[in-house]
Amino acid sequence: MLKTLIFAHRGASGTHPENTMTAFQAALDDGADGIELDVQLTKDRVPVIIHDETVNRTTDGQGWVKDYTYEELKKLDAGGWFHPAFHGAAIPTLEAVLEWLAPTSLLLNIELKNGIVRYPGIEEIVLKLIKKYDVKNRVIISSFNHYSLVEVHRLDPDVETAVLFMEGLYEPWEYAKALGANGLHCFLPVAVPELLAGAAKAMMPVRPFTVNEDQHIRALINGCDAIITDWPEKAVIIRKQCT
Ligand code: G3P
Ligand code: MG
């Protein structure tokens, strides 16, 4: 087994406001190998980084992401809800993150959030940006919307994709292969030994989320390809102790 990689979930979201540039920079500073982020589209079809379909929880605004233009959305404060020290942090565009990430060696897991609100064409928009910043070999696109993964694969079979799922599926690597996906991003409780062993045998990478507790990090370090965690700093320390 290769070294288990550490992806910072929504950036270093344990210590910083999720899905903001400050959370991504913190992940890099913490020694994470990659970041995970969530992408949606504004009313004028700008890909932006935010987890929920509404801005209510993580900004000082109200309403659906899809109903904001980017000019309107960028005025919202996406940091103050987490801690006053982060007041003024903005919702980043995917393009801003790619521009920042390109000169680093970070891996990037782009989660397409198009299950609850559908964003037709989001796959093509995201792929164009990946190409523009020449980071294709460092990107994994994941989604709970598996039709979207098939569309990514149709548009560019060279881009790595991963199936997101919450359930205890039987031999999910067979399912992933059937839709042309290259990895399994499963909810932590379903990352059971049978899944880890079977996927390893099938050469299908497994990257469980969200691996935050010390004992879970210890159990999975050296046992899967990557973990997705809110606490990259802690995970990096535990990984050093485990090697
Ligand atoms: O991509 C892993 C994880 O982010 C999936 O769930 O809801 O945190 O986006 P969620
Ligand atoms: Mg996510």
CATH of domain 5-241: 3.20.20.190
Mutate to test the pocket of ligand 1, among 5, 6, 9, 145 (most ligand atoms within 8 A of CB): 9
How far, in Å, from the CA of 2 to the mean position of ligand 1?
Answer: 24
Report ipTM (2 d.p.): 0.99
Q: Which residues have a Cβ under 8 Å from the Cβ of 39 and sit 6 or more positions away?
A: 47, 48, 49, 94, 110, 111, 112, 113, 122, 126
For position 89, what pLDDT does the model report?
A: 98
Query: What's the pLDDT tens digit per position in 34-46?
Result: 999 999 999 999 9
Residue bearing the CA closest to ligand 1, atom 3: 209
Residue bearing the CA closest to ligand 1, atom 6: 209
Residue bearing the CA closest to ligand 1, atom 7: 51
User: Domains of the chain: which residue ranges?
Assistant: 5-241
How far, in Å, from the CA of 85 to the mean position of ligand 2?
Answer: 24
| Ligand 1 pocket, Cβ-based, cut-off 6 angstroms | 9, 36, 38, 51, 111, 142, 164, 185, 209, 228
Of the pLDDT bands very low, low, confident and very high (cuts 50, 70, 90), residue 193 is very high
Averaged pLDDT, 82-96:
98
First and final CA of the chain: distance in angstroms? 12
For residue 9, the ligand 1 atom closest to its alpha carbon is 4
Of 142, 56, 153, which is closest to residue 64 (Cα–Cα)? 56
For position 1, what pLDDT does the model report?
A: 53
Query: What's the pLDDT tens digit per position in 106-130?
Result: 999 999 999 999 999 999 999 999 9
For position 243, what pLDDT does the model report?
A: 81
Helix, strand, coil percent values for the chain (each to nearest 5): 35, 20, 45
Averaged pLDDT, 146-171:
98
